[in-house]
Amino acid sequence: MQTLSVELGDRSYPIFIGSGLLQQARLQPYIKGNQVMLVSNTTVAPLYKELVRNGLSQFELDEVILPDGEAYKDMQHLNLIFDQLLASRHNRTTTLIALGGGVIGDMTGFAAACYQRGVNFIQLPTTLLSQVDSSVGGKTGVNHPAGKNMIGAFHQPVAVIADTAVLQTLPDSELSAGLAEVIKYGLIYDAAFFDWLEKNARALRDKDEQALAYAIYRSCEIKAELVAQDERESGVRALLNLGHTFGHAIETHAGYGQWLHGEAVAAGTVMAADLSCRMGWISRADVDRIERLFKAAGLPVKPPQDMTPERFRTLMSVDKKVMDGRLRLVLLSSIGQAVVTEQFEQAALMQTLNGGI
């Protein structure tokens, strides 16, 4: 098992990464009262719920099992968690446990942020994407028809426990979606990690345990560092949004769940790379290299064909990085380094949105 820490003063918390951690019932030290609410979905619960429940027999344990999918990451389904918490009379010392991917993690975290003005929660991420990204850092929330993650709160978990063994049941397309965020870390922060990913893309897609363990560890290490520096995204944390302004627009346009988050991030990151190239910051050879790695990871590199530049601009105008009406984007200054900037040419952006035409 490997351990990292997200250093946030008295709200610091550990990230445990290893095979078989769900079975080893490591939750007790992070539960302060005697009430626990397990939140999962109809796909993950039948696979792993009992493993978790077995380690919690001394607690008053309730559960809420949500329908599976990004389409249900909304206020209506968030409310089901509150309904269950109230029906089972959970009080302020309760602990919520998120067992699932990023959808369950984001919703459970938001429920924990709101319920009785804030209770503890633990992340048990079960997808690659949630183990490398969404379970760490305390961004929680739900979607709105007008935009991704528009309703939410910053609320940190008290622990993150990533059992890498559960990735063996993850569908291939979901593994690829997680790789999009892994590649992101190489692009924004660590050129050597990007090189390593080029060499190990096949092993990762084949679910090689050693390769996955390293990719998860390095990703969490980078994310923990950025979050510790800038918890609420007033600066450097925004780099984690590489490709997301384009990507979130794609997800909203297509209808939540039609494009996986990681797929949209992959196509969006190639668009960000293309714009960076048009601005003269990276070479066309760099863009081709980035595109090749996403393809090797099994990910799309072009947005949906029916998405016009006007549609992109409308959806991108509600991005959370917009400041005083001005769009800010995360762009690349090299492979391994990124900037958040509004200093890009509108004509270049239009060319990127037009697919280079």
Residues in contact with ligand LNCXM5UN by the rule CB under 6 A: 133, 137, 139, 148-149, 181, 233, 237, 240-241, 244, 320
What's the Cα-to-Cα distance from 154 to each of 109, 110, 151, 185, 233, rounded to whole Å?
Answer: 9, 8, 11, 21, 10
- Give the residue with the Cβ less far from ligand LNCXM5UN, 171 or 235: 235
218 contact, one of ligand LNCXM5UN, ligand NAD, none, CB 5-8 Å limit per kind: none
Give yes or no for a contact between 49 and 100, defined as CB atoms under 8 angstroms apart. no
- The reply on whether position 18 binds ligand NAD by CB under 6 A is no
Q: Is 133 in the site for ligand NAD (CB under 6 A)?
A: yes
Catalytic pick among 77, 90, 155, 223: 223
> How many alpha carbons fall within 13 Å on the CB side of residue 70?
21
Chain-centroid distance, C-alpha 263: 12
Return the one option of ligand NAD, ligand LNCXM5UN, none that residue 241 interacts with (CB less than 5 to 8 A, by type).
ligand LNCXM5UN
325 backbone φψ class: left, alpha, beta (φ>0; ψ -120 to 50): left
Known active-site residue 181: yes
Radius of gyration from C-alpha coordinates of the chain: 20
User: Binding ligand NAD by CB under 6 A: which of 4, 38, 43, 294?
Assistant: 43
253 is annotated as an active-site residue: no
Residue in 140, 86, 132 with CA at minimum distance from that of residue 112: 140
224 is an interface residue for ligand NAD by CB under 6 A: no
C-beta closer to ligand NAD: residue 166 or 316? 166
C-alpha distances in angstroms, 247 versus 296, 300, 329?
A: 19, 11, 12
289 classed as catalytic: no
Which residue's beta carbon is nearest to the bound ligand LNCXM5UN? 149
Strand, coil or helix: 297: coil
Side by side, the strands of the sheet bearing 120-125 are 2-6, 13-18, 159-163, 120-125, 95-100, 35-41, 60-66
Q: Is 184 tagged catalytic? A: no
What are 262's two structure tokens? 């990681």
Q: Strand locations in 130-232, DSSP E?
A: 139-144, 147-154, 159-163
Q: How far is the CB of 112 from ligand LNCXM5UN (least distance, A)?
A: 16
Regarding 266 and contact with ligand NAD (CB under 6 A), the answer is: no
Helix and strand totals (H; E) in the chain: 12, 11
235 labelled binding-site residue: no
Whether 313 is a known active-site residue: answer: no
Active-site residue 7, yes or no? no
- Site for ligand NAD (CB under 6 A): which residue of 18, 101, 298, 303? 101
Residues of the shown chain interacting with ligand NAD in the complex, contacts defined by CB under 6 A: 41, 43-44, 47, 68, 70, 73, 100-104, 106, 126-127, 129-130, 133-134, 137, 139, 148-149, 166, 169-170, 174, 177, 261-262
Q: Which residues are annotated as a binding site for Zn(2+)?
A: 181, 244, 261
Give the residue numbers annotated as catalytic, written as ranges: 117, 139, 181, 223, 233, 237, 241, 244, 248, 261
Which residues fall in the annotated binding site for NAD(+)? 68-73, 102-106, 126-127, 139, 148
